[in-house]
């Protein structure tokens, strides 16, 4: 190419330039382009801004244009200026700055010329790099320059609309200015809202409405009245306003009434925006339905009267709009708003009261009468209650305290030194001041002409202690009350001045001396024995009826009416067992009472308890077992059913074990014997039942149990023995030598076996009368009759021994009464001898007044003794009529012949005339006579049935002493608790004075415990046999010594009570016996059921008895326990309160 040729000159320095004219034309066109396009952008920006303003102005006429929309409109209008103009500059100025770009634009208007210009510009741009001839390029440039020299490129600007944009801008500005001139306020408002959309500039409306709340809280689901009004300067006053209810399409219209619009809004449950349209005004109200404000935690803060001694103001919750305030108190009402709402205003009876946040408080006002106060309030949302709260304030009097006392029985017989406990509970509406016991004797013209009265403090209260529960104690001896009948009741006092005491229902306590108590117990035992006899006679009747039913043929026995008769017999047997069980319980209570009385010796009590043990076995095991067998008889299959179900007969040489199992098949579970009616020995099937129970032992036929002495001889029983063989085998076991190598078991002490002739004879007679059983029902009936036979025999022996014991007790009572009368006569003689020596032989008118008074007192005593001896004589006569014992007749005749009743009364008359010697001699004579008669009755009072315990157990005397120590320690603990409860109300010296007798009592009990330890050591081999008991009692003695030291401080608090409780628990261990033991063993009524131990039966009586420790289970279907209903605690309290009011109106007798 020529451009690369080395021959061309000046190739490295030559340059190519556009002609000046051509370049000037192109630059001129470029300037024109830039000016037009920039002008068009500016005009478009003005139009955009003006239109955005007019849009806001127009929208504001119809609704309140939201700020976000106004901002969007402003941005849209300003975007023409802020975004469109830069884009236009970039497109038409920046992109079109080169001549080459300008040439391209001209090509659109002048295509051919444009191509030439573009080519020339590109050649000039190439400069030195141009590959063409420079001469030719210059020639081409000159040619194009010549062509454009006269051309006008001003119209060649593409898309030239600057005139239209000019007209548009002028028009938009004109409209905007027109709004300013016509509605300047609206224009200025629109301008402000347009230029500052972020500001909350209120929209200008021609209908000017008064301020409408942005949020309105209305009552939930209740119709609401809503009103709004136009301002006075409103330029438009429309005739109708429209409201759109939130959540519905419903519209409400309200007419213009004096520039006001009233809307009746329907009940609303859901919140939302309510839209109002009043002319061109648009309002939006957020409506929120809420429940009306309520008050909660309404309390009355009460300033109580001064006499109540409260150290704080109690608060009482107000419920149901009613509060009770004691008269004389000052009440302040306090409350809080529910749901954490704040209270704006609270008024009481129209007067504004103190309120802050969500609580309020009224001014304290004294309550003298009942009245009503009205409370009204408003919450932070402007809501008020539908109706004001009417608060009823009831002025009440200070109520008297309520007091209740509980004891096992309303009436009780106690010894003079016995402690009676009462569970006392008292309550007051403010505070209990004190609780105590009050007593007064029952007046009796003969025995108690001047009854005693007294009271004692049991517990001290406190001004703020509304409820007091305490255990009160009463001991006639400790309170200095002689034996008599007392009415005892608990009392309570509160702090109201001059208030009378409130009383509980009255309890009757018969306080007796040991002699009177012994006579009373003897009389009670006589009544108890009569009831026991009735149970025995009833059992005999049931036995005879059972035998009559057994005599029936199998077909007759299977008849429905006879089966029902058998079932009736079973129910009657169970009822009789329950009655005997109840009697056993009451008998135990009598023995427990007797253990407290030193007039009863241990041997009699041991015998009594032993017989009760036997009766308990009969009631709980033997009789229910008979009832079970009778029920099995009633439900046994008939004769025809047995024949249909009878299996094949067992082989003669059957398994002995199987034979043994067959022999035991007649147990309480009701299985029928299997096999042929007759076995190889010709014995009847009834021989498969077990042998009759041993007297005093549990019935093994009902429970499947056997006496211990028969456990090893079961394998010697024939395979299927008959009843006769069974009874014979049993008696043989006790009376004859046993076969085999099994050693004989030595019977325990007191074991008494039923005579073999009696049982064997009854069995044979029964067999002769009834014949062998022919059906399962007859087999079960035979078992029931056999067992009933045994228990009747045992019952009869127990009854005989009880009769003998009763006779000895009654005789012993006469001995004690005669001995007491003898001692009283000796006391009279001694008093006359020591007191009247100074008046011996003097005339009555010369005897000093003091001596005359003493003589008159002796005369009264002799008159009383005469009456007592007369009572003994009449009782002895009545007893002889029943017993017909010659020993009683002899003494009765002597008393009648000597005229002792008249003679004792004459001694009193003799003393009055100062015949001292004769009076002393007579008193001594009758003392000797009474003592001689008592000695003559000693033989009648001896109890032949009374036996001591086994040498392997503690003697009954020791057991009785431990029981008495235990009882005394428990009474001491109750008295210690009582004194501790009264301590706050006592002065220190008085408290110390009342604690001193407790210390001495503890020492006395410890001394008795040490004596018991010595008694046990003195027993043969006592230290070895009863080592455990001795160690326990030594520990008890040590604890009692510590308890005495605590009481000596004095201190009756938890430490003393804890020590006494520890001693009681150890005493219970010393007293308790093995609950499975029998207390004597053997089959005698005193044997206690054939147990393997010989523990004293007294251990079954009272606190810590074996039955209290463990109740053995008995596999018997028929329940024989006592049934009853126990009222709930609140019912008993209510009944006590009722009887309290009934007896004395809460405050009197």
Do residues 194 and 52 make contact, with C-beta atoms less than 8 angstroms apart? Answer: yes
Span 525-545, average pLDDT: 87
d(CA 923, CA 830): 9
d(CA 534, CA 996): 52
Which residues lie across from 391 on neighbouring strands? Answer: 373
Q: Average of pLDDT values for 560-569?
A: 89
* pLDDT band of 1070, cuts 50, 70, 90: low
Contacts of 975 (CB under 8 A, 6+ apart): 419, 473, 475, 478, 998, 1001
- pLDDT band of residue 1136 (cuts 50, 70, 90) is low
pLDDT at 432: 93
More confident residue, 184 or 55: 55
Which comes out higher in pLDDT, residue 638 or 15? 638
**Calpha distance 869→856 (Å, rounded):** 20
Q: How confident is the model at residue 35 (pLDDT cuts 50, 70, 90)?
A: confident
pLDDT digits (tens, 9 = 90+) for 1029-1062: 888 899 889 989 999 999 998 898 888 888 888 8
Give the residue-averaged pLDDT of 477-497. Answer: 91
pLDDT band at 685 (very low <50, low <70, confident <90, very high): very low
Average the pLDDT over 1136-1145 and give the result: 57
Can the peptide bond before residue 105 be classed as cis, meaning omega within 30 degrees of 0? no
Model confidence at 1078, pLDDT cuts 50, 70, 90, reads very low
Which stretch, 508-522, 845-859, 881-895, has highest mean pLDDT?
Answer: 508-522
Q: Is the pLDDT of residue 378 over 50?
A: yes
Tokens, residue 53? 């303003």
Over range 607-614, report the average pLDDT: 81
Q: Helices 134-148 and 20-60: crossing angle, nearest 10°?
A: 50
pLDDT, tens only, 930-967 = 888 877 776 655 555 555 555 567 777 787 788 888 88
Residue matched to tokens 């009392």:
491
Confidence band for 812, pLDDT divided at 50, 70 and 90: low
Does 721 score more than 50 pLDDT?
A: no
Q: What is the pLDDT of the chain when averaged over all its residues? A: 74
User: pLDDT tens digit string along 765-779?
Assistant: 444 456 788 788 888
Cβ distance 1125 to 1132 under 8 Å? no
Select the more confidently predicted residue: 429 or 25: 429
> Do residues 198 and 71 touch, judged by C-beta distance below 8 A?
yes
pLDDT in tens, 257-315: 988 999 998 888 888 889 888 888 888 899 999 999 988 889 999 999 999 989 888 98
Confirm if 785 and 547 have CB atoms less than 8 A apart: yes
Tens digit of each residue's pLDDT (9 = 90 or more) over 384-395: 998 899 999 999
Give the least confident one: 163-177, 205-219, 294-308, 827-841. 827-841
Q: Treating both helix axes as pointing N-terminal to C-terminal, what angle do 99-109 and 20-60 enclose, rounded to 10 degrees?
A: 80
Q: Is the confidence at residue 1119, as pLDDT, over 90? A: no
Give me the mean pLDDT over the 803-828 stretch: 73
The phi and psi torsions of 616 (rounded to 5 degrees) equal: -65, -40
Predicted local confidence at residue 965, as pLDDT: 87
DSSP label at residue 596: T
Q: According to the per-residue pLDDT averaged within each range, which of 103-107, 374-378, 695-699 is highest?
A: 374-378
Q: Distance between CA 974 and CA 993 in Å, rounded?
A: 18
CA separation for the pair 203, 819 (Å, rounded): 124
Instruction: Using a pLDDT cut of 70, give the percent of the chain over it.
Output: 67
Provide the pLDDT for residue 1110: 39
Q: How confident is the model at residue 149 (pLDDT cuts 50, 70, 90)?
A: low
Q: What is the mean pLDDT of residues 496-523?
A: 88
Structure tokens at 163: 């005139």
Average the pLDDT over each of 402-411, 596-605, 704-713, 821-830 and give the range with the smallest value: 704-713
Do 702 and 626 touch, CB atoms closer than 8 A?
Answer: yes
Q: Taking residues 363-377, report their average pLDDT.
A: 90
Of 450-459, 859-868, 934-943, the least confident? 934-943
Pairing of β 330-337 and β 295-303 = antiparallel
Asked whether the beta carbons of 962 and 1071 are under 8 A apart, the reply is yes
Supply the pLDDT for residue 740.
40
Closest CA to 506 of 477, 479, 466, 474: 474
Close Cβ partners of 932 (under 8 Å, ≥ 6 residues apart)? none
H or E segment to which residue 441 belongs: strand 432-441
162 vs 667, higher pLDDT: 162
pLDDT tens per residue, range 633-672? 888 887 666 544 444 444 333 343 333 333 333 333 333 3
Residue 1046 CA: distances (Å) to CA of 716, 794, 1039, 1136? 65, 53, 11, 38
Range 592-602 average pLDDT: 80
Would you state the structure tokens that stand for residue 1110, as one six-digit string?
């463990």
For the ranges 71-75, 603-607, 740-744, the lowest mean pLDDT is seen at: 740-744
Q: 268 or 876: which carries more pLDDT confidence? A: 268
The pLDDT-based confidence of 816 (bands split at 50, 70, 90) is: confident
> Residues 334-347: pLDDT tens digits?
999 988 888 889 98
The span from the CA of 624 to the CA of 790, in Å, is: 14
Domain at 295-396: CATH code: 2.60.40
DSSP lists the bridge partners of residue 752 as none
Question: Rounded distance, CA 70 to CA 67, Å?
Answer: 5
Residues 14 and 134 sit within 8 Å (Cβ to Cβ): yes
Residues 6+ apart with CB under 8 A from 547: 766, 769, 770, 785
Residue of 959 and 255 predicted with greater confidence: 255
Joined together, the tokens standing for residue 726 give 């069974």
If DSSP codes are grouped into helix, strand and coil, which group holds residue 411?
Answer: strand
Please tell me the CATH superfamily of domain 215-290, with its number. Answer: Immunoglobulins (2.60.40.10)
For residue 641 the two structure tokens come to 């059913």
What is the distance between the alpha carbons of residues 46 and 57, in angstroms, rounded to a whole number? 17
Q: What is the pLDDT of residue 426?
A: 93
Which listed CATH number (2.60.40, 1.10.1220, 1.10.10, 1.20.120) goes with 402-477+487-493?
2.60.40
Max mean pLDDT among 514-518, 1078-1082, 1138-1142 falls in 514-518
Q: In this structure, how many other beta carbons lie within 10 angstroms of the beta carbon of residue 1052?
A: 24
| DSSP code for 697 | S
Do strands 281-290 and 215-219 pair parallel, antiparallel, or not at all (unpaired)?
A: parallel
């Amino acid at each position: 190419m020529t451009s690369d040729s080395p021959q061309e000159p000046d190739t490295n320095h030559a340059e190519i330039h556009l002609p000046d004219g051509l370049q000037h034309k192109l630059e001129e066109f470029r300037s024109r382009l830039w000016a037009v396009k920039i002008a068009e952008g500016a005009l478009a920006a003005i139009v955009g801004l003006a239109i955005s303003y007019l849009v806001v102005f127009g929208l504001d006429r119809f609704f309140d244009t939201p700020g976000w929309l106004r901002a969007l409109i402003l941005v849209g209008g300003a975007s023409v200026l802020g975004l469109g103009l830069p884009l236009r500059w970039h497109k038409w100025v920046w992109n079109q700055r080169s001549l080459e770009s300008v040439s391209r634009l001209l090509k659109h208007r002048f295509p051919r010329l444009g191509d030439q210009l573009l080519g020339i510009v590109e050649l000039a741009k190439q400069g030195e790099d141009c590959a063409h001839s420079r001469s030719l390029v210059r020639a081409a440039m000159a040619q194009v320059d010549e062509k454009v020299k006269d051309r006008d490129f001003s119209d060649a600007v593409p898309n030239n609309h600057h005139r239209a944009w000019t007209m548009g801008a002028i028009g938009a500005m004109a409209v905007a200015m027109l709004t300013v001139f016509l509605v300047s306020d609206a224009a200025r408002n629109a301008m402000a809202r347009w230029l500052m959309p972020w500001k909350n500039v209120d929209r200008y409306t021609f209908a000017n409405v008064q301020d409408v709340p942005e949020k309105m809280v209305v009552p939930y689901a209740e119709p609401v009245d809503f009103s709004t009004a136009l301002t006075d300067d409103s330029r438009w006053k429309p005739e109708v306003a429209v409201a759109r209810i939130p959540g519905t399409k419903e519209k409400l219209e309200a007419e213009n009434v004096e520039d006001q619009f009233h809307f009746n809004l329907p009940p609303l449950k859901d919140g939302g925006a309510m839209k109002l349209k009043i002319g061109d005004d648009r309002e939006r109200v957020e409506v929120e339905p809420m429940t009306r404000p309520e008050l909660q935690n309404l309390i009355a803060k009460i300033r109580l009267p001064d006499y109540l001694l409260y150290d704080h103001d109690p608060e009482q919750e107000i419920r149901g709009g009613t509060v009770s305030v004691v008269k004389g108190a000052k009440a302040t009402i306090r409350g809080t708003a529910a749901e954490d709402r704040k209270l704006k205003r609270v008024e009481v009876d129209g007067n504004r009261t103190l309120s802050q946040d969500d609580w309020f408080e009224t001014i304290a006002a004294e309550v003298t009468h009942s009245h009503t106060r009205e409370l009204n309030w408003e919450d932070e949302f402007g809501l008020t209650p539908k109706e004001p709260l009417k608060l009823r304030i009831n002025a009440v009097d200070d109520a008297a305290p309520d007091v209740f006392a509980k004891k096992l029985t309303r009436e009780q017989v106690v010894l003079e030194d016995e402690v009676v406990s009462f569970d006392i509970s008292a309550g007051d509406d403010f505070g209990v001041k004190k609780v105590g016991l009050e007593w007064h004797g029952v007046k009796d013209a003969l025995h108690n002409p001047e009854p005693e009265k007294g009271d004692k403090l049991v517990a001290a209260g406190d001004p703020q202690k509304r409820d007091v529960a305490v255990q009160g104690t009463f001991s006639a001896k400790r309170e200095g009350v002689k034996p008599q009948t007392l009415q005892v009741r608990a009392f309570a006092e509160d702090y109201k001045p001059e208030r009378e005491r409130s009383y509980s229902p009255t309890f009757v306590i018969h306080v007796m001396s040991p002699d009177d108590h012994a006579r009373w117990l003897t009389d009670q035992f006589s009544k108890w024995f009569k009831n026991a006899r009735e149970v025995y006679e009833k059992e005999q009747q049931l036995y005879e009826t059972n035998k009559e039913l057994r005599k029936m043929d199998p077909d007759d026995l299977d008849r429905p009416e006879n089966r029902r008769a058998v079932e009736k017999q079973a129910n009657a047997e169970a009822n009789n067992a329950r009655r005997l069980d109840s009697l056993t319980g009451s008998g135990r209570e009598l023995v427990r009472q007797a253990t407290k009385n030193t007039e009863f010796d241990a041997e009699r009590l041991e015998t009594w308890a032993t017989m009760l043990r036997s009766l308990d076995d009969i009631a709980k095991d033997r009789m229910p077992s008979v009832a079970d067998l009778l029920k099995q008889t009633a439900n046994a299959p008939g004769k025809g059913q047995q024949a249909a179900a009878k299996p094949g007969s067992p082989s003669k040489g059957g398994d002995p074990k199987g034979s043994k199992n067959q022999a035991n098949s007649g147990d309480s579970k009701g299985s029928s014997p299997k096999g042929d009616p007759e076995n190889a020995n010709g014995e009847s099937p009834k021989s498969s039942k077990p042998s009759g129970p041993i007297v005093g032992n549990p019935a093994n036929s009902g429970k499947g149990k056997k006496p211990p002495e028969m456990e090893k001889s079961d394998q010697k029983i024939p395979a299927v023995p008959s009843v006769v063989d069974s009874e014979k085998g049993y008696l043989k076991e006790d009376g004859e030598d046993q076969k085999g190598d099994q050693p004989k078991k030595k019977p325990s002490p007191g074991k008494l076996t039923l005579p073999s002739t009696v049982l064997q004879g009854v069995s044979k007679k029964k067999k002769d009368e009834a014949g062998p059983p022919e059906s399962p029902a007859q087999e079960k009936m035979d078992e029931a009759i056999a067992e009933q036979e045994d228990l009747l025999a045992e019952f009869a022996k127990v009854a005989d021994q009880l009769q003998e014991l009763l006779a000895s007790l009654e005789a012993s009572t006469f001995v004690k009464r005669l001995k007491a009368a003898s001692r009283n006569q000796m006391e009279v003689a001694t008093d006359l001898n020591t007191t009247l020596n100074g008046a011996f032989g003097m005339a009555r008118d010369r005897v000093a007044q003091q001596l005359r008074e003493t003589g008159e007192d002796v005369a009264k005593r002799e008159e009383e003794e005469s009456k007592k001896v007369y009572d003994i004589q009449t009782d002895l006569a009545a007893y002889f009529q029943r017993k017909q014992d010659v020993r009683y007749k002899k003494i009765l005749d002597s008393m009648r012949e000597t005229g002792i009743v008249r003679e004792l009364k004459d001694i009193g008359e003799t003393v009055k005339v100062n015949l001292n010697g004769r009076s002393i001699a007579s008193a001594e004579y009758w003392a000797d006579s009474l003592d001689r008669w008592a000695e003559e009755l000693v033989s009648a009072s001896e109890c032949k049935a009374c036996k001591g315990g086994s040498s392997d157990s503690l003697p009954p005397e020791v057991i009785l002493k431990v029981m008495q120590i235990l009882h005394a320690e428990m009474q001491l603990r109750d008295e210690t608790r009582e004194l501790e409860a009264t301590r706050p109300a006592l002065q220190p010296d008085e408290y110390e004075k009342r604690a001193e007798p407790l210390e001495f009592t503890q020492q006395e009990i410890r001394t008795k415990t040490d004596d018991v330890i010595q008694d046990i050591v003195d027993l043969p081999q006592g230290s070895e046999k009863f080592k455990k008991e001795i160690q326990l009692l030594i520990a008890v003695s040590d604890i009692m010594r510590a308890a005495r030291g605590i009481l000596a401080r004095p201190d009756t608090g938890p430490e003393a009570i804890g020590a006494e409780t520890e001693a009681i628990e150890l005493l219970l261990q010393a007293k308790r016996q093995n609950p499975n033991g029998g207390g004597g063993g053997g089959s005698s009524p005193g044997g206690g059921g054939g147990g393997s131990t010989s523990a004293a039966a007294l251990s079954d009586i009272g606190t810590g008895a074996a039955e209290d420790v463990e109740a053995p289970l008995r596999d018997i279907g028929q329940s024989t326990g006592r049934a009853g209903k126990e009222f709930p605690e609140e019912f008993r309290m209510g009944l006590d309160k009722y009887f309290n009011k009934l007896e004395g109106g809460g405050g009197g007798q």
